[in-house]
């Protein structure tokens, strides 16, 4: 539905909800003048030249940048903008005007919050978030606009009681929603020990005008992933309406300012449902509704926002969903743990024949966790047998890695690492709710079937907690790992006949094309060549398509006829050529979800890499956020490129530019993350085991002036390489 259509449906209402509109108008007056008072006082205190902005963002004041294209950096610049917004507030009570009031209120709230940041008011402490920086937008924003996250709920006010708040949020979390919270509902959830915060995709923003941080989050998605230029107001609104499946739940008594802000939500295409009983003249059909029944409020909101769930219910006693992916379980909270070097453990997905499997069966061999005391450590084998007519041995590893994600979806279940290094914890809370190890099996079984219906026909899961049986299983598992590694090693760009495309991100970056090869993982880090191949099997018309390699145009830089041809079509005729092995000449484009970014450092004749996790400054003078702003959105930007972290370990890591030896700076965290394999690759490349220590990091410095002497002192090879430029 386009914005125009929304306007139509909304204005079609036979009776104007005058009472609601009057309330919204009153709230708008309050918000506009309040912003004006704060702004002019701040100008008096700081002067119009005062620099303003939110932390950790390249998008200035996102609401303003998005809607009007103005990139605010100074306090004084806000005056004409606020005046423009004051001026569009007209007193006649019409639906048309109400949306403009809403827009004005969004501006006012953005300005008020900007001033709060300038003043250092109410610094946020965990779990309150305030403004959400770009790293978080990039981390979760893609899932929001590609609908991995089925919807976004903005909840404000206070529920009828704390258990009711918990119930709503649990329900939304188990459906995988992204949640923004404002006002007392936050305290209610904290009271009920509901897990909220950045780690759970449930953001407690703050109070009152801080709800704007849900809005500026959403608007940044259009800029970052939609590739929509700043100031393209209608296009941004259309993007919000189409891609951001958000709704607002207003709990507790209404007030003028909230109602006015909710007109802002409707302006963006997000309907509002409240638990307050409202008369007819306080409701807008399909857009502003009353539903006092807590059982019905979420289904109603989903219905009017058009959110449909494909998720299945899984019969386990804990909550389940991506909200819990970031949850950590500390030792003190652990009921039982497995693996992690403390006990023997392994996990294995194995393809079997049709006769070797009982579909849907979950077997536990050894003690169940209700029979062991708190604090126990048990061995663990997770053995998943899969039969599928289209299943291939190459997919085993792909599916096996899903164990990590699926297990972490469970509330109170924590999983890290893989294969025989895997480490699992189950929390006391989960145990108290009745969670058993067999439920882990149920969970994995259900998710594998749900996510991979095309290749998975039958699944059986065996969970082994008996030491002898685990050891037996481990022998088999290691054989499989070995065979798989041998196969992986044989998979090189040269050895395969097909590359794969990935257009997954075109839903939000319409011209971006990823080309995934065995030696170059997708820039999001999540799609390897095998993943892409499996995905193609699962959805033959999906985002991953084979590109028969054919003859090369330039093997050194990595250009093929076939890839160019594919690129041209898939990029909507905007890009003609791409080189896979260099970032200096027609490099691959970046969508917005890259794990890391490479950028040249001409003074050092090398490259630096920074990651989404690293929020600090870098030697190229830009933070990750700013860099992301310059090279995202599906453009070719020579000298800059988004990559997956593990691409650094590839033998095809920018070979045309000199490969690994070019790296002069990367964050410490990335060094540690890759260390072992990186050292091995350095040795293989003849750079020596200590090469990693010749690379500067933030402890050396974040400016060229700081790092160049370090590189020289440590004999970094960059200076001896051919000139990059």
Partner 1 sequence: MPRYRDLTHTARPSNAPRVVEPKNPIRTTDPGTLQMLKMVEDRKLETVFDRVVAQQPQCTFGYTGVCCKICLAGPCRVKKEEGPASRGICGATAYTIVSRNIARSIAAGAASHSEHARHILHTAHALVEGHASDYDIKSPVKLHEIAGKLGVETLNREDKEILKDIVEIGYADFGRYQDRPLAFLDCLITVGRRNKFKHTNIMPRSIDGTVTEIIAQTAMGVDADPVNIIFGGLKASLSDLGGSYIGSTMSDVLFGIPEPIVSEANLGVINPKMVNIAVHGHNPVLSEMVVAAARAMTEDAKKVGAEGVNIVGICCTGNELLMREGVYLATSSASQEMAILTGALDAMVVDIQCIYPAVQTLAECFHTKVITTEFLMKIPGAQHLAFNTATAMDDAKKLIRIAIEAYGKRDPKKIAIPSEKHQLVAGFSREVLTDIFAKINPERPISVLTDAIESGQLKGVAFIIGCNNLKRFQDESHIAILKELVKNDVLVITGGCSAGAYAKFGFMSPLAVDAYAGEGLKSFFKTLEAANPQLSTRLPLVFHVGSCVDYTRGIEVLVAMADELGVDTPKVPFVVSAPEAMHEKAVAIGSYCVTMGVPVHVGSMPPVEGSDLVYGITTQIAHDVFGGNFILEVDPNIAATKLLDALEYRTWKLGIHKKTAEKNNTEVAQGW
Min dist. Cβ of residue 236 to partner 1 (A)? 28
595-to-108, 374, 525, 533 alpha-carbon distances in Å: 34, 38, 6, 21
> Exactly one of 77, 146, 191, 420 binds partner 1 (CB under 8 A); which one?
191
- Does residue 94 belong to the site contacting partner 1 (CB under 8 A)? no
Q: Which long-range contacts (CB under 8 A, 24 or more apart) does 630-633 make?
A: 630/58, 631/590, 631/597, 632/224, 632/225, 632/227, 632/509, 632/590, 632/591, 632/592, 632/594, 633/224, 633/225, 633/227, 633/509, 633/512, 633/590, 633/591, 633/592
Note whether 443 binds partner 1 by CB under 8 A.
no
Q: Which of 90, 119, 308, 675 binds partner 1 (CB under 8 A)?
A: 119
In this structure, what DSSP letter does residue 720 have? G
Burial of residue 455 (CB within 10 Å: 0-12, 13-18, 19+) is buried
- Residue 37 as a binder of partner 1 (CB under 8 A): the answer is yes
Helix (H, G, I), strand (E, B) or coil at 458: strand
Closer to partner 1 by CB, 259 or 348: give it: 259
- Tell me if 614 sits within 8 A of 580, measured CB to CB: no
Residues numbered 57 to 86 that lie near partner 1 (CB under 8 A) are none
Distance CA 654, CA 635 (A): 18
Tell me which residues in 585-624 interact with partner 1 (CB under 8 A).
none
**CB closer to partner 1, 251 vs 436:** 251
Residue closer to partner 1 (CB basis): 146 or 199 = 199
Judged by beta carbon, residue 327 or residue 519, the one nearer partner 1 is 327
Q: Which of 183, 385, 400, 698 binds partner 1 (CB under 8 A)?
A: 183
647 and 527 Cβ atoms separated by less than 8 Å: no
Q: Which residue from 4, 49, 96, 161 is in contact with partner 1, where contact means CB under 8 A?
A: 161
Question: Where do we find the tokens 């770009």?
Answer: 134
Please report whether residue 525 would count as binding partner 1 according to CB under 8 A: no
Secondary structure, 3-state, 180-193 = EEECCHHHHHHHCC
Asked whether position 34 contacts partner 1 by CB under 8 A, the answer is: yes
| Nearest distance, CB of residue 93 and partner 1, angstroms | 9
Stretch that binds partner 1, among 21-29, 436-444, 492-500, 505-513 (CB under 8 A): 21-29
429 contacts partner 1 (rule: CB under 8 A): no
Within 13 Å, how many C-alpha atoms sit on residue 66's CB side?
A: 29
Six-digit token pair at 619? Answer: 């030697």
Residue 158 Cβ vs partner 1, minimum distance, rounded to whole Å: 4
Per CB under 8 A, does 256 bind partner 1? yes
Which residue's CB is nearer to partner 1, number 240 or number 427? 427
Q: What are the residues whose beta carbons fall under 8 Å from the beta carbon of 259, sequence distance 6 or more?
A: 20, 23, 24, 27
Name the one range near partner 1 by CB under 8 A: 8-16, 255-263, 541-549, 672-680.
Answer: 255-263
Q: Measured between alpha carbons, how far is residue 607 from residues 170, 584, 590, 667, 696 in Å?
A: 45, 11, 17, 13, 11
Q: Which is nearer to partner 1, 106 or 474 (CB)?
A: 106
Residue from 267, 147, 122, 127 nearest 202 by CA: 127
The window from 144-152, 156-164, 341-349, 370-378 that contacts partner 1 (CB under 8 A) reads 156-164
Contact with partner 1 (CB under 8 A) among 252, 317, 542, 688: 252
Q: Could you say which of 56, 77, 146, 187 contacts partner 1 (CB under 8 A)?
A: 187
For 56, the token pair is 């950790």
Among 7, 26, 117, 635, binds partner 1 (CB under 8 A): 26
Judged by CB under 8 A, the residue of 190, 372, 584, 721 near partner 1 is 190
Kindly state whether residue 41 participates in binding partner 1, applying the rule CB under 8 A. yes
Q: Does 716 bind partner 1 (CB under 8 A)?
A: no
The region of 116-124, 430-438, 503-511, 631-639 touching partner 1 under the rule CB under 8 A is 116-124
Q: Which of 2, 83, 122, 572 binds partner 1 (CB under 8 A)?
A: 122
Please report whether residue 167 would count as binding partner 1 according to CB under 8 A: no
> Quick check: 184 binds partner 1 (CB under 8 A)?
yes
* Minimum CB distance to partner 1, residue 90 (Å): 14
Interaction of residue 475 with partner 1, rule CB under 8 A: no
Among the candidate windows 186-194, 301-309, 415-423, 565-573, which touches partner 1 by CB under 8 A? Answer: 186-194
- Class of residue 7 by CB neighbours under 10 A (exposed 0-12, middle 13-18, buried 19+): middle
Could you tell me the smallest distance in angstroms from the CB atom of residue 379 to partner 1? 33
Question: 517 and 529 in contact (C-beta within 8 Å)?
Answer: yes
**8 Å CB contact between 154 and 214:** yes
Our finding on whether 15 is near partner 1 (CB under 8 A) is: no
- For the bound state, the minimum distance from the C-beta of residue 125 to partner 1, rounded and expressed in Å, comes to 4
Count CA atoms closer than 13 A to 546's CA, side-chain side.
12
Run of H or E including 241: helix 233-243
Q: Nearer Cβ to partner 1, position 260 or 455?
A: 260
**Edge-to-edge strand order for the sheet containing 288-290?**
202-206, 178-182, 152-157, 246-251, 272-274, 288-290
Query: What separation in angstroms does the CA of 488 have from each of 50, 394, 518, 545?
Result: 56, 9, 9, 20
Determine the 3-state secondary structure of 381 from DSSP: strand
Which one among 128, 225, 395, 594 touches partner 1, defined by CB under 8 A? 128
> Which position among 16, 30, 469, 584 is part of the footprint of partner 1 (CB under 8 A)?
30
In angstroms, the CA 594 to CA 553 distance is: 27
Nearer to partner 1, 27 or 543 (CB): 27
Query: Is residue 123 a contact residue for partner 1 (CB under 8 A)?
Result: yes
Report CA 59 to chain centroid distance, whole Å.
17
User: How far apart, in whole angstroms, are the C-alpha atoms of residue 633 and residue 184?
Assistant: 37
29 binds partner 1, rule: CB under 8 A: yes
| Candidate residues 3, 6, 38, 111; the one interacting with partner 1 per rule CB under 8 A | 38
Could you say whether residue 127 binds partner 1 (CB under 8 A)? yes
Single out the segment in contact with partner 1 by CB under 8 A; choices: 180-188, 502-510, 544-552, 653-661. 180-188
User: What tokens appear for 484 in the block?
Assistant: 């798989």
Separation of alpha carbons 503 and 571, rounded Å: 9
**Nearest distance, CB of residue 37 and partner 1, angstroms:** 5
Rule CB under 8 A: is residue 472 a binding residue for partner 1? no
Residue 121 found at the interface with partner 1 (CB under 8 A): yes
**293 lies in the binding site for partner 1 (CB under 8 A):** no
360: alpha, beta or left, given left = phi > 0 and alpha = psi -120 to 50? Answer: left
**DSSP string covering 154-214, please?**
EEEE--SSHHHHHHHHHHHHHTT-EEEEETTHHHHHHHTT---BGGGTEEEEESGGGGHHH
158 binds partner 1 (CB under 8 A): yes
Tokens at 637, concatenated: 């930007």
DSSP string, 542-559: SS--EEE--SEEETTTTE
Among 33, 467, 490, 703, binds partner 1 (CB under 8 A): 33
With CB under 8 A, what is the number of residues at the site for partner 1? Answer: 43
The DSSP line for 668-688 is: HHHHHHHHHHHHHHHHHTTS-
Applying CB under 8 A, among 15, 125, 475, 725 the residue interacting with partner 1 is 125
- State the binding string over 198-237 for partner 1 (x if CB under 8 A, else -): --------xxxx----------------------------
Name the phi and psi angles at 493, rounded to 5: -60, -35
User: Residues interacting with partner 1, by CB under 8 A?
Assistant: 22-23, 26-27, 29-30, 33-34, 37-38, 40-42, 45, 115, 119, 121-128, 157-158, 160-161, 183-184, 187, 190-191, 206-209, 251-253, 255-257
């Amino acid at each position: 539905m386009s914005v125009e259509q929304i306007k139509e449906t909304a204005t079609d209402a036979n009776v104007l909800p005058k009472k609601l509109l009057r309330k919204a108008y009153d709230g708008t007056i309050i918000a506009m003048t309040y912003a004006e008072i704060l702004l002019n006082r701040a100008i008096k205190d700081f002067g119009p030249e005062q620099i303003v902005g939110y932390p950790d963002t390249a998008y200035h004041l996102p609401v303003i940048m998005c809607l009007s294209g103005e990139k605010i950096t100074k306090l004084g610049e806000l005056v004409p903008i606020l005046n423009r917004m004051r001026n569009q507030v007209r007193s006649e009570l019409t639906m048309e005007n109400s949306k403009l009031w809403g827009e004005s209120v969004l501006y006012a709230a953005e300005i008020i919050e900007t001033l709060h940041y300038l003043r250092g008011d109410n610094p946020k402490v965990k779990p309150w978030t305030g403004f959400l920086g770009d790293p978080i937008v990039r981390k979760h924003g893609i899932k929001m606009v590609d609908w991995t996250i089925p919807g976004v709920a903005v909840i404000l006010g206070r529920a009828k009681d704390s258990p009711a708040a918990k119930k709503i949020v649990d329900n939304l979390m188990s459906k995988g929603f992204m949640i923004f919270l404002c006002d007392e509902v936050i305290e209610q959830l904290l009271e009920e020990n509901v897990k909220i915060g950045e780690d759970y995709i449930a953001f407690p923003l703050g109070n009152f005008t801080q709800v704007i941080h849900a809005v500026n989050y959403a608007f940044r998605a259009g800029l970052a992933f939609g590739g929509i230029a700043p100031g393209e107001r209608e296009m941004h609104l259309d993007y919000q309406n189409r891609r951001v499946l958000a709704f607002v739940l207003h709990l507790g008594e209404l007030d003028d300012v909230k109602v006015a802000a909710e007109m802002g939500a409707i302006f963006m295409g997000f309907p509002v449902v409240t638990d307050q009983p409202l008369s007819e003249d306080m409701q807008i059909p399909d857009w502003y509704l009353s539903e006092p029944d807590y059982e019905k409020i979420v289904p109603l909101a989903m219905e009017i926002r058009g959110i449909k769930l494909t998720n299945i219910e899984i019969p386990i006693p804990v909550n389940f969903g991506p909200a819990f992916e970031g949850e950590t379980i500390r030792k003190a909270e652990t009921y039982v743990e497995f693996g992690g070097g403390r006990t023997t453990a392994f996990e294995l997905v194995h393809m079997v024949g049709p006769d070797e499997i009982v579909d849907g069966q979950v077997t536990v061999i050894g003690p169940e966790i209700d029979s062991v005391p708190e604090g126990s450590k048990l061995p663990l084998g997770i053995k998943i047998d899969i039969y599928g007519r289209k299943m291939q041995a190459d997919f085993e590893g792909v599916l096996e890695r899903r164990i990590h994600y699926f297990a972490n979806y469970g509330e109170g279940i924590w999983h890290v690492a893989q294969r025989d290094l895997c480490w699992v914890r189950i929390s006391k809370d989960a145990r108290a709710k009745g969670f058993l190890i067999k439920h882990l099996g149920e969970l994995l079984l259900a998710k594998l079937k749900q996510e991979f219906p095309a290749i998975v026909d039958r699944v059986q899961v065996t969970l082994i907690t008996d030491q002898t049986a685990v050891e037996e299983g481990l022998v088999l598992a290691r054989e499989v790992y070995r065979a798989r590694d041998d196969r992986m090693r044989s998979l090189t760009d040269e050895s395969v006949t097909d590359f794969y495309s990935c257009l997954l991100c075109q839903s939000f970056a319409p011209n971006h094309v990823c080309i995934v090869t065995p030696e170059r993982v997708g820039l999001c880090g999540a799609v390897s060549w095998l993943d892409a191949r499996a995905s193609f099997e699962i959805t033959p018309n999906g985002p991953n398509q084979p590109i028969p390699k054919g003859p090369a145009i330039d093997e050194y830089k990595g250009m093929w006829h076939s890839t160019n041809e594919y690129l041209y079509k898939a990029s909507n005729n905007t890009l003609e050529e791409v080189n896979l092995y260099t970032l200096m000449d027609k490099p691959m484009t970046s969508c917005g979800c890259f794990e890391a970014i490479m950028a040249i450092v001409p003074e050092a004749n090398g490259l630096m890499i920074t990651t989404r996790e690293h929020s600090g400054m870098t030697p190229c003078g830009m933070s990750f956020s700013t860099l992301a702003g310059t090279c995202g959105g599906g453009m070719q930007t020579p000298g800059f490129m988004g990559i997956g972290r593990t691409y650094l370990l590839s033998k095809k890591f920018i070979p045309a530019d000199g490969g690994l030896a070019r790296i002069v700076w990367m964050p410490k965290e990335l060094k540690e993350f890759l260390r072992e394999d990186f050292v091995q690759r350095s040795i293989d490349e003849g750079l020596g085991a200590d090469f990693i220590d010749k690379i500067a990091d933030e402890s050396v410095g974040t400016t060229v002036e700081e790092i160049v002497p370090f590189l020289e002192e440590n004999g970094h090879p960059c200076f001896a390489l051919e000139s990059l430029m």
